[in-house]
Structure formats: structure tokens, C-alpha cells
Amino acid sequence: MSKRSRKALIGITTYGRQEALPFSLPSVYIDAVRAAGGTPILLPPGETDPTILLEPLDGLIISGGGDINPVWYKGSNHPSIYSIDSDRDAFELQLAKYAMQHHLPVLGICRGLQILIVASGGTLIPHVPEVYGNSVLHRIDPEPGKRLPTEHFVKINVESRLANFVQNTHISVVSWHHQAIHKVPDGWRVVAHAPEDGVIEAVEHEHHPWAIGVQWHPELSINDPHHERIFQAFVQATYIEQSLLTA
């Protein structure tokens, strides 16, 4: 069967192995990919050769989750950093580099955006409230060890691909993060901010056929057409790439 005669195979990274629990991923990621016309394939951390996993796939989603160990971007530790998983960090950084080098369509969501940035040589803000002074805009921490999502607005650059397929430049998003981009690496451009405080909310790669990272969680708003279109555009991009490869 040729690639062009089947649904796009979309790899989605999973959470790591923590306290002997099973590898897992919220079902909304899977639902979003299926609704957009793709077939989800879960990618648990641990494999040392990303080529084995990614060669058969048409696209990659790097999912959300805990914080990246700051040693990967020569950052400093912070008491707010949580759920560091060395296996997952190493695995996803390898996947990101492969996707960038081989022009595999890739969508980074929250932590996934940060993985793309770190893999490309960028850096992160360890704790957004200490830099931007807003402790509840991007995530709610009602008590120690408990974290909740929150909703706010994002302003998208009108000349970006993101605005083109979202079909709007001012949308409501669900966020669940306390870290964000600090230094944007070469090749990437900022295409969205939170207007209330200026936190970077989305980036696009300038040369890759389809590499986009969003700091919010579009899978949590899949019934909103703006967020549904992100997954639709991503899956459609994998078919375009298939056509180029098989032409």
C-alpha cells in the first residue's frame, strides 16, 4: 500500500514511566488526531534510535507534560520545576531533531513547543510568574502539588501560517504551563503572544515545510473550530509531504 492511499500515520509522544505506572497519554490527543483524519500511533520514551519509529510515520506531535531538565538548555534549577524525566527528555529531543532534519511535519504542544525550541538551541524561562509577574494567567496552582488549566486570549500574527489556518488573529486558549520560551533559536519566528503579559504563545519554523509549536493546549478545545483547524492543517500537511515524497 502506498503512503498516498491510506490515512496519515501520526506519532504522538506519551508521558514517561513514573513510579512504575503504565505509559499514558490523555485521550483528547488521540481524539483530536482522529477527528482531523489521521491515525494516531503512540510513542513511549525509551527507544534510542528515532529513525526506527519515525521513518514509517507521516507526522509527529510532541505532547505536553512535565518540565524539561534545565541541563539540556544550560539553565538553572528552580523550586517550581517538576516531573523531570531524563528518558523522556532525551527521547523527545532526538525525535525533534530528526523531524527538523528530515522535514517531517511536527506539531509541538506546550512542553512539545519547548522541546522543539531546546532541540534547536533555544532556552526557557524557568518560572513565568517571576519574569512576567502574573501567577494565574497561564496556570492555576491552588495548593502545593496541584495544577489546573486556565483560559486566556492569544494574539496571532496576521501574516503567519497559524493565523491563516486558524482563520483568526485573536482567539481564546486553554493553558497549563508555568514555563515559556526565553531565547528564540535561529530559524524560528514568534507568531503569537498573550496580549496581557507578552508571553510567547506560538512559533513557526521559517524553512521547515511544517513545524509549529503552540504553548497552549488545543486538544482541550477540540470542539472550538479555531483549535480543530490546527489539527486539520497539521494532518493535511502530512498528505502534502507524502505527495512530494512520492511524486
Active site residues: 110, 217, 219
Q: Where are the beta strands (DSSP E) in the chain?
A: 8-13, 38-43, 59-62, 106-109, 124-125, 140-143, 146-148, 150-156, 170-175, 180-181, 188-193, 200-205, 211-214
**Which residue in 167, 145, 140, 161 sits closest to 214, CA to CA?**
161
What's the gap between Cα 127 and its chain centre?
18
Number of Cβ within 10 Å of residue 142's Cβ equals 9
Q: Could you please report the per-residue DSSP string of 162-187?
A: HHHHHT-SEEEEEE--S-EESSPPTT
Report which DSSP code applies to 220: G
Contact 228, 220 (CB under 8 A): no
Give phi and psi for 154, each to the nearest 5: -130, 140
Alpha-carbon gap, residue 198 to 226, rounded angstroms: 21
